[in-house]
Amino acid sequence: MMRLNYTGLEHAKQLIRHGKISTGPWAYDAVDEQTQKGPNGTDHAEHERHHLAIDDAHPVGHEDRARYPFAKDGQIYLRALHGIRNEAHDAGQTDISRAASELIGEAKVRQTPHERHIVKDGSKWKLYTKDGSRLISTHASKEGAVKQEEAIKAHEADAAAGRSAEVRDKTGSSRSIERRFVGAQVELRESRTGGPGRIEGYAATFESNSVDLGGFIERLAPGAFRAALAAGDDCRCLRNHEDDNLLGRRSAGTLELSEDSHGLRFACELPNTQVGRDTAEMVRRKDMTGCSFQFTMGGPDDEAWDFSTPMPVRTIKRVGKLFDVGPVTFPAYESTRVDMRSFAAAKALHASPPKTNSQAKARQRLAEASL
């Protein structure tokens, strides 16, 4: 039975990532085969990883087991990939043909790695990341790929304007982006629009303690997101907070946000793109289970500090701006400069509270009584 050789596929991707790409003529003969098997002719694993398919009808070492060679002499050959794509397609081996097609796109983009690229592949149009290492989406028309690129660019422009290293609040104080992970599990539901699925979960939960964020813990007060939601923040759903991993957008109606007694709930209709399909599969398999969100604080009155406990507690009463929510691969709480500045200021204020008139008078009376 012919199947896609995932070891060979990964080897092909590694060659492309390292720029080992040949556009020259392709030929693969017995000498090349013997070279890959080593001087003793027994290194079958090395031989197989230069092929994109395996025929399980033959045992390891059989001359017909490894099929569709694509590389030799440390290089991947574009002409070999084109031949594999066409031959596998004609043979009805869809997964092998699709893999060859995607490798062709990645190899072409890799040669000009500084921008995202739209590549025509047969009757399809494909959008790749700037470095050419990953396919973002596949479209039936060039217009569809252009719209996806425009959506990503719009998000990046917003990020540059409002999600820079620091943003200014109404008082002129700098407020840094903060990111928090939530252990509540994201779940996959059936799509309502025919896409790969719909993910739902809580991007934030109320009145639950965070981990130690650097000498303090944190809680979200109920209603913390009410103002941000009412302001109509055009929040995105991103996988791992990455701009290229755009899954949905509030203004487009593909991301829904609501606040209930438990926290900030989100639901996102996944796009029928490579990122969307991969996300659906990872959530379904429970490889990706946690959620995260990025935000800024509104101002000093939107948080409260409690130093009466062994570990000081910061309570966020109101989020200033909500940038993005979504599933994450590696759960982590992250402390930022604004957290530490806020903590240091609150701690200093607690250690040296301002003297009121009544306090000053009491101390004066105490001083006079001791004379």
Q: Give the long-range contacts of residues 226-230, CB within 8 A, separation 24 or more.
A: 226/259, 226/318, 227/298, 227/318, 227/319, 228/295, 228/319, 228/320, 228/321, 228/322, 229/257, 229/258, 229/259, 229/322
CA atoms of 303 and 315, how far apart (whole Å):
6
* Bridge partner residues of 220 (DSSP): 316
Averaged over successive runs of 10 residues, the pLDDT of the chain (371 residues) comes to 91 88 93 91 93 94 93 94 93 92 81 66 80 73 80 61 42 57 79 90 85 79 93 90 89 94 93 92 88 82 83 88 86 45 59 50 44 36
What integer pLDDT is reported at residue 73 of this predicted model?
93
Nearest to 187 by CA among 172, 202, 176: 202
CB 75 within 8 A of CB 15: yes
DSSP 334: B
Which tokens is 139 given?
Answer: 């479209």
Which tokens is 304 given?
Answer: 């409260």
- The torsion angle over the Cα atoms of residues 262, 268, 274 and 278, rounded to 10 degrees, is 30
Which tokens is 190 given?
Answer: 């059936």
Q: H-helix or E-strand containing 71? A: strand 71-72
CA atoms of 302 and 298, how far apart (whole Å):
6
What integer pLDDT is reported at residue 82 of this predicted model?
93
What integer pLDDT is reported at residue 369 of this predicted model?
40
What integer pLDDT is reported at residue 211 of this predicted model?
73
What integer pLDDT is reported at residue 196 of this predicted model?
93
Rounded to the nearest 5 percent, the helix, strand and coil shares of the chain are 35, 30, 35
What integer pLDDT is reported at residue 351 of this predicted model?
61
Other C-beta atoms lying within 10 Å of the C-beta of residue 73: 10
* Bridge partner residues of 258 (DSSP): 265
CA atoms of 2 and 271, how far apart (whole Å):
31
In the chain, domain spans: 2-144, 164-351
Q: Give the long-range contacts of residues 332-336, CB within 8 A, separation 24 or more.
A: 332/181, 333/180, 333/181, 333/210, 333/211, 333/213, 334/178, 334/179, 334/180, 334/181, 335/213, 335/214, 336/176, 336/177, 336/178, 336/179
Within 263-336, where are the H helices? Answer: 274-284
Q: What are phi and psi of 305, to 5 degrees?
A: -120, 140
CA atoms of 81 and 17, how far apart (whole Å):
16
SS3 per residue for 206-221: CCCCCCCCCCCEEEEC
Cα angle, residue 285 at apex, residues 332 and 190 outer, rounded to 5°: 105
Other C-beta atoms lying within 10 Å of the C-beta of residue 203: 27
What integer pLDDT is reported at residue 157 of this predicted model?
56
The gap between the terminal CA atoms of the chain, to the nearest Å, is 101
Sign of CA pseudo-dihedral 28, 31, 33, 38: negative
